[in-house]
Chain A
Amino acid sequence: MIKLSDIVVRFGDFEALHNINVHVKEGEFFTFLGPSGCGKTTTLRTITGFIEPVSGTVSMQGNDITNVPIEKRNIGIVFQSYALFPTMTVHDNIAFGLKIKKQKKDEIEKKVKAIAEKVDLSDEQLKKAVSQLSGGQQQRVAIARALVTEPAIICMDEPLSNLDAKLRVQLRNELKKMQKDFGITTIYVTHDQEEALTLSDRIAVFNKGYIEQIGTPNEVYNYSATEFVANFIGDINPLGKDITEAMGLSQAENHFIRLERVHVNTDTASGEVYVTDGVIESREYYGLYIKYYISAGGQTVKVIEKNDGINIYEAGEKVKVGIHRADVMSYAKKEA
C-alpha cells in the first residue's frame, strides 16, 4: 500500500531521518511510535508530502509519489490540533475539500450527510461552529473531513494528545472501531506506548531518526528487538550483577525483565527459575493491580501483582522473589 524506501530527510545540516524503510499493508492500522524528536512526525509528513526527502522514494499502490504535490496524493490527515477551521461551521469544515474539488452542490450535501452519519454527528451539530463542540466531537469532525474525500489512506498525528486521560481512552476505542468500519489503511503517530499497543496491527518504533523495530504489539512488547525498544515499551527492571551472576547470565549483555514476569512468594526454584529473598520496600495501589518495590538480590526490583484482595503485602514484609530465565530479555552491551 505505502512503501518508504531508503528515505533520508535533512533540515540544514541535521539529518532527521536516516534510511527509513517501511511497508504499510492495505487496511492495516500502522503506528509510528517513539519519544519526542525521534522522527515519527517527520516520516508522516514525508508520506503526506509536506516534507520532501533528500533521497529515497515514497510509493503508494506501486506508484512513486515522492514528487507528487500534497493535494494530489489522495491522503487524508487528522492533525494533532485537528486543524478545524474556526471560522467555518462543522458542515463547511467537512465540505471544504469537496468544494475545492469543485464537486456538485447536491453531491457535496449527500457526501457530508453520509460521512456525518457514519461518525455519529447529528444534523444539529453540523450547523454548529467547531468551538461549540466537545473535544471528542471535534475529533469526529476531523476524521469526517479527512475521510469525506475518500482518500486511499488516512494519517493521524497524535490526535488524542490534547485530551484528558478518560476521554483519550474512550476515543481510542471509537477510533479503532471507526477504522475497522471504514476498513481504511491508517498510519498513526504517537509517543504513547499504551495507545500504540491497544490500537495497532503493527508498530514501528523510532529512535533518533532510525527505526529500531517493526512488529505486532506482542512482538515489540514481549520480543523487543533492541534495548531501547524494551525500555521504551512498558516498564522494565534492569537486572544487576548479583542477580545475573547468580542466574549464570552472560556479563557481556544487559539483562531486563518485565514487572509482571517477576513472581512474589514462588518457591519452586529450579535450574530455570531463580528465587531469592526480598523485603517489601513500598507499594503503590492501582486498584486492579498493586506495584511493589522489593529489595532483593542487591537491588530494588519492581513487581506487579494482580490485586486478588488476599495476597497483599505490607512494607517490611519478607517475601521470596522468583525470576524465570526464559522471561529475561538480553541485549549486547554497547561499546562506550
Chain B
Amino acid sequence: MQNTVRRKGQINLSMIYKVFGGVLFIYLFLGFMVIPCINTLTSVFTAKDRAGNTDPFAVIRFFLAGSMPSFVWNSLKLAICLVVTVNVVGISIVLLTEYFDIKGAKILRIGYMTTLIYSGVALVTGYQFLYDGNGIMTKWLVEMFPGMNKQWFSGFNAVLFTMTFACTSNHALFLRNAIRGIDYNTVEAARNMGAKPFKVLFKVVMPTLLPTLFSLTVMTFITGLCAMSAPTLLGYNSINPEIVRLAGSTTADEAFPQARAALLSVILALFTIVLLLFLNHYERKGHYLSVSKTKAKLVKQKIQNPTANVLAHIYAYVLFIIYMTPVVMIILFAFQNWSAVRTKTLDLGGWTLSNFFGVENYSYTRSNGKVTTRVGAISGVFSNDKTVGGIRLSFILSALAAALACVIVVIAVNYIFKFRGKHKSKKRAVLVEGCLLFPWLLPTILICYSFRIFFNNEVWYVFGQNLYYKENVRLLIIIAYTVVKLPFALRMVKAAFYAIDDELEDAARNLGASSLVTFLKVKLPIVLPSVLAVFALNFNALFTEYDMGATFQSSEGTTYAMVIQSMCNEEGRDGMNMNASGRRCASTVFIMIVSGLILYLVYGVGSRDLGERLALREKRRKRLQKIKGKLGIGHASAEAAEQQETV
C-alpha cells in the first residue's frame, strides 16, 4: 500500500475531513474521558478543611485514620475468594461438559450456560428472592439440614455465593473454546507413553489452558473488586456501593464525601490498571502456542475408576441443580399469583399471567373492619407505568449508546486500518486506538462518578449545560454507556477488520470505487455482522446495566435495573404493588427472553454468510413450492420443484 498514487483534486476535501474528524475526536476524548477523570483525581488533593483552606492530604489522613480501609479490604477479600471459587466452579463445568465423558453433558452445558442470559441485577434479586431468610430454597435447605442458619444468605456469604455462579460465563465461553482447541493427538501421545488419565489432564491439558485461565483469573479479580449490584443488594460494604453512597452525600452529613469517593475510585483504578497491565504483559508473551499442523478433535475421556465416575456425575448434577434451580423457580414464580409469590410457596392452582399483562385491583380488610380497594395494585410488567417507563428508557438509552459506540469504533478502526503499515501515520493510528482503549483501564465506577460530579455543574464545552440536571441526565447516561463500551467494541470490530483482505480494497479501487464507496459497499458489508453483534451484545449488557444506573439514578434517569431493584422494597406496602416480586420474576423472564433472542441473532442468524443465507432461502423456496404443490396451488411449479429434487 506504500507510495499509492493519489487522486488529484481530492486532497483539499480529504484534508477538511481529516481536520474536522481530528478536532471532533480530540474534543470527545478530552471532554468526556480525560477532563472529568482528572477532575476526580485533583478533587482528592483539593479538599477543604472546616476553615475553608485547601488541605492536599486531608482525605488521605482521613482514609488512614477512619474506617475507609475496611471497604478496600472487603473488596479485596471478595476478589481473592471469588478467584478461588469461580475458578473451581468454572473449570469444573468446562471439564465436566467438554473433557470428561459425563452422561447428559449437553443438558448440563445448557444449565451451566444459563448465566449468559440470566445475569446482573436480575440474577442477584432472583437469588435474593429464593435464598433469603424465608426464600423457598432456604426453606428446603433448612428442612434438609435442620441446624442450618436461616439467615445464611446475607453479607459476604451471599455475595460470594451469588457471584461465584454468576461469574462463570466467561469460563463457559472462553475456557470452553480453549479446551476445544486442544489437539487430541497430544493427549493420545501422552497416553501412548503410559500417562494415566489424570496425569494427562494435569500435565498435558491444563498447561495449554493456563493462558486462558490466567486471563480469566485477572478478569474475575477485577470483577470482584468492582462488584456493585451484589454487594449493594445483598448488603456487603465494599468499595463501589460506598462510592455511590458518598456521591449522593453532602458535607452537611459527613466530612468531604465527594473527595473520599474520588479517593476510593482512584484506588480502584490503580488496582485495575496494575492488573490489566500485568495481564497485557503476560498475554504479549504468547505462551503455549499450539504447534500442531493438523489438529485432531478432542475425544471425551471416560473416567475409568467407577467410584470417581459416580462422584463426578453427582458433582456435575449438583452444580446443574444449583445453576438451574433459580432459573426454573423464577420462571415458575413469574406465573404465580401475588399471594403465592409473597409467601414464596408454589401454588399449583395459582397460575396467572397478571405479572406480565393487565391490571387488577386489590381489596383487603383494614383493622377497623373496613374493606379497602387499591385500584391497580396488581399490575404486569407491560402494564405497570413505572416498569414500562424503565424498560422504555433503558431500551432507548442502551440502543443509542450501543449504536453510537459502533459508529465511533467503525470510523476509528477504518482510519486505523487505512494507515496500517504506513510509518508516518502509524503513530496516529496507535494514538487513536489508545484513546479508545482508555476507558478499559478505568473502573466503570470511576468514569461514572467522574461524570456525575463533573457534569453536575454548568460546563462550558457542553454549551454551558448541567448534564446531571433533569432530563439532561439521560444524555449523560448515553455518553457514559458509550464511553464504557468503546474498548469492547474496538476489540471486536478490529478483529472483524482484520478479516478483510487488503486485495478487496485494491480490487474496488481498481474498479473505480472511491474510498467512501469502497467503505460503504465492500468493507462495511463484510464487517456488518460483527458490528451488529457488537451492537447486540452491548445493548444486551446495557439494557439491564446496574452500576451506571445506580450512579446516575435520578427522577429522570431511572433505568430498568433500578426499577427492578425498587421492586424488592415496595412489595405490598399499604396494599400497593401487591405483586412487585412477581413482576420482578416476570421482568427476569422478559430479560432472559431478550438476552436469549439477542444471543441467537448474534451467534445463530448473524454468523451465516451470504452463501449460507442464499442456500437457506433456496431451501425454503423449494419447501414452499412443495407445500403449494400438495395444496394444489401453482401445480406446475411444484412439479418442477419435485423433479428438481429428484434429480
B residues 502-555 in Cβ contact with A at 8 Å: 503-504, 506-513, 517, 521-522, 525-526, 528
Interface residue from A68, A69, A101, A132 paired with B614 (Cβ < 8 Å): A132
Interface residue from B2, B4, B508, B526 paired with A87 (Cβ < 8 Å): B526
- Residues of B contacting A68 in the complex (Cβ-Cβ under 8 angstroms): 5
Are the CB atoms of A9 and B3 closer together than 8 Å? yes
Interface residue from A48, A70, A81, A87 paired with B501 (Cβ < 8 Å): A81
Are the CB atoms of A89 and B5 closer together than 8 Å? no
Are the CB atoms of B2 and A51 closer together than 8 Å? yes
Are the CB atoms of A80 and B509 closer together than 8 Å? no
| Complex interface bits, B1-37 against A, C-beta within 8 A gives 1, otherwise 0 | 1111111100000000000000000000000000000
B632 within 8 A of A: no
| Complex interface bits, A73-87 against B, C-beta within 8 A gives 1, otherwise 0 | 001110111010111
- Residues of B contacting A83 in the complex (Cβ-Cβ under 8 angstroms): 501, 503-504, 506-507
B143 within 8 A of A: no
A residues 23-77 in Cβ contact with B at 8 Å: 48-54, 67-71, 75-77
- Residues of A contacting B1 in the complex (Cβ-Cβ under 8 angstroms): 50
Interface residue from A48, A85, A86, A87 paired with B510 (Cβ < 8 Å): A48
A254 to chain B, nearest CB (A): 37
Are the CB atoms of A69 and B8 closer together than 8 Å? yes
Q: How far is the CA of A85 from the CA of B611 in the complex (A)?
A: 12
Are the CB atoms of B610 and A129 closer together than 8 Å? yes
Are the CB atoms of B5 and A80 closer together than 8 Å? no
| Complex interface bits, A95-111 against B, C-beta within 8 A gives 1, otherwise 0 | 01100110000000000
Q: How far is the CA of A86 from the CA of B503 in the complex (A)?
A: 12
Known: A79-B503, A87-B610, A88-B610. A50 touches B5 (CB 8 A): yes
Are the CB atoms of B512 and A100 closer together than 8 Å? yes
Q: How far is the CA of A104 from the CA of B431 in the complex (A)?
A: 45
Q: How far is the CA of A59 from the CA of B608 in the complex (A)?
A: 45
Are the CB atoms of A77 and B506 closer together than 8 Å? yes
- Residues of A contacting B526 in the complex (Cβ-Cβ under 8 angstroms): 85-87
A266 to chain B, nearest CB (A): 45
B609 within 8 A of A: yes
Q: How far is the CA of A96 from the CA of B5 in the complex (A)?
A: 22
B50 within 8 A of A: no
- Residues of B contacting A89 in the complex (Cβ-Cβ under 8 angstroms): 610, 614
A173 within 8 A of B: no
Are the CB atoms of A128 and B4 closer together than 8 Å? no
- Residues of A contacting B193 in the complex (Cβ-Cβ under 8 angstroms): none
Closest to B499 in A: A86
Closest to B525 in A: A87
Are the CB atoms of B503 and A129 closer together than 8 Å? no
- Residues of B contacting A127 in the complex (Cβ-Cβ under 8 angstroms): 614
A48 to chain B, nearest CB (A): 7
Known: A129-B609, A132-B614. A70 touches B509 (CB 8 A): yes
Interface residue from B501, B503, B511, B513 paired with A149 (Cβ < 8 Å): B511
B645 to chain A, nearest CB (A): 15
Interface residue from A11, A51, A132 paired with B615 (Cβ < 8 Å): A132
Closest to A9 in B: B3
- Residues of A contacting B528 in the complex (Cβ-Cβ under 8 angstroms): 87
A59 to chain B, nearest CB (A): 15
Interface residue from A49, A75, A97, A131 paired with B611 (Cβ < 8 Å): A131
A287 within 8 A of B: no
Q: How far is the CA of A68 from the CA of B513 in the complex (A)?
A: 15
Are the CB atoms of B5 and A131 closer together than 8 Å? no
B423 within 8 A of A: yes
| Complex interface bits, B57-89 against A, C-beta within 8 A gives 1, otherwise 0 | 000000000000000000000000000000000
B619 to chain A, nearest CB (A): 13
Are the CB atoms of B511 and A12 closer together than 8 Å? no
Are the CB atoms of A100 and B513 closer together than 8 Å? yes
- Residues of B contacting A49 in the complex (Cβ-Cβ under 8 angstroms): 5
Q: How far is the CA of A203 from the CA of B525 in the complex (A)?
A: 40
Q: How far is the CA of A314 from the CA of B568 in the complex (A)?
A: 92
| Complex interface bits, B605-647 against A, C-beta within 8 A gives 1, otherwise 0 | 0000111011100000000000000000000000000000000
Q: How far is the CA of A38 from the CA of B415 in the complex (A)?
A: 31
Known: A83-B507, A88-B610, A96-B511. A52 touches B3 (CB 8 A): yes
With a 10 A CB-CB cut-off, give which of A11, A52, A81, A100 has the most chain B CB atoms: A100
Are the CB atoms of B503 and A69 closer together than 8 Å? no
Are the CB atoms of B507 and A79 closer together than 8 Å? yes
Interface residue from B7, B504, B507, B511 paired with A69 (Cβ < 8 Å): B7
- Residues of A contacting B609 in the complex (Cβ-Cβ under 8 angstroms): 86, 129, 131
- Residues of B contacting A97 in the complex (Cβ-Cβ under 8 angstroms): 511-512
Closest to A101 in B: B512
Known: A9-B3, A85-B504, A100-B517. A70 touches B525 (CB 8 A): no
A145 within 8 A of B: yes
Are the CB atoms of A80 and B8 closer together than 8 Å? no
Known: A77-B506, A80-B503, A100-B512. A51 touches B423 (CB 8 A): no
A16 to chain B, nearest CB (A): 9
Q: How far is the CA of A65 from the CA of B510 in the complex (A)?
A: 14
Are the CB atoms of A12 and B423 closer together than 8 Å? yes
Q: How far is the CA of A127 from the CA of B611 in the complex (A)?
A: 10
Q: How far is the CA of A56 from the CA of B609 in the complex (A)?
A: 45
Known: A11-B2, A52-B4, A70-B5. A77 touches B510 (CB 8 A): yes
Are the CB atoms of A67 and B510 closer together than 8 Å? no
Closest to A75 in B: B510
- Residues of A contacting B510 in the complex (Cβ-Cβ under 8 angstroms): 48, 70-71, 75-77
Q: How far is the CA of A182 from the CA of B4 in the complex (A)?
A: 30
- Residues of B contacting A70 in the complex (Cβ-Cβ under 8 angstroms): 5, 509-510
With a 10 A CB-CB cut-off, give which of B4, B503, B610 has the most chain A CB atoms: B610
Known: A77-B507, A77-B510. A50 touches B4 (CB 8 A): yes
A229 to chain B, nearest CB (A): 28
- Residues of B contacting A52 in the complex (Cβ-Cβ under 8 angstroms): 3-5
With a 10 A CB-CB cut-off, give which of B510, B512, B526 has the most chain A CB atoms: B510
B533 to chain A, nearest CB (A): 15
- Residues of A contacting B611 in the complex (Cβ-Cβ under 8 angstroms): 128-132
With a 10 A CB-CB cut-off, give which of B2, B503, B511, B517 has the most chain A CB atoms: B511
- Residues of A contacting B501 in the complex (Cβ-Cβ under 8 angstroms): 81, 83
A121 to chain B, nearest CB (A): 16
Q: How far is the CA of A75 from the CA of B511 in the complex (A)?
A: 9
Q: How far is the CA of A128 from the CA of B618 in the complex (A)?
A: 10
Q: How far is the CA of A127 from the CA of B615 in the complex (A)?
A: 11
- Residues of B contacting A48 in the complex (Cβ-Cβ under 8 angstroms): 510
Q: How far is the CA of A31 from the CA of B423 in the complex (A)?
A: 32
- Residues of A contacting B506 in the complex (Cβ-Cβ under 8 angstroms): 50, 77, 79, 83
Q: How far is the CA of A51 from the CA of B525 in the complex (A)?
A: 27
- Residues of A contacting B615 in the complex (Cβ-Cβ under 8 angstroms): 132
A residues 105-138 in Cβ contact with B at 8 Å: 127-132
A278 to chain B, nearest CB (A): 39
Q: How far is the CA of A129 from the CA of B610 in the complex (A)?
A: 6
Q: How far is the CA of A231 from the CA of B513 in the complex (A)?
A: 43
A53 to chain B, nearest CB (A): 8
With a 10 A CB-CB cut-off, give which of B5, B6, B7 has the most chain A CB atoms: B5
- Residues of B contacting A50 in the complex (Cβ-Cβ under 8 angstroms): 1, 4-5, 506, 509
Closest to A51 in B: B3
Are the CB atoms of A71 and B5 closer together than 8 Å? no
Q: A81-B503, A129-B610 are in contact. List 10 more A-B contacts (CB 8 A).
A: A10-B3, A52-B4, A71-B512, A76-B510, A79-B507, A85-B508, A86-B526, A96-B513, A97-B511, A149-B512
* Closest CB pairs A-B (n = 7): A97-B511, A87-B525, A131-B611, A71-B512, A129-B611, A83-B503, A83-B507
B binding-site residues for A, Cβ under 8 Å: 1-8, 423, 501, 503-504, 506-513, 517, 521-522, 525-526, 528, 609-611, 613-615
In the assembled complex, 22 residue pairs joining A and B whose CB atoms fall closer than 8 Å, in A order, are A51-B2, A53-B3, A54-B3, A69-B5, A69-B6, A69-B7, A69-B8, A71-B509, A71-B512, A76-B510, A80-B503, A83-B501, A87-B528, A89-B610, A96-B521, A97-B512, A100-B512, A127-B614, A128-B614, A130-B610, A132-B611, A149-B512
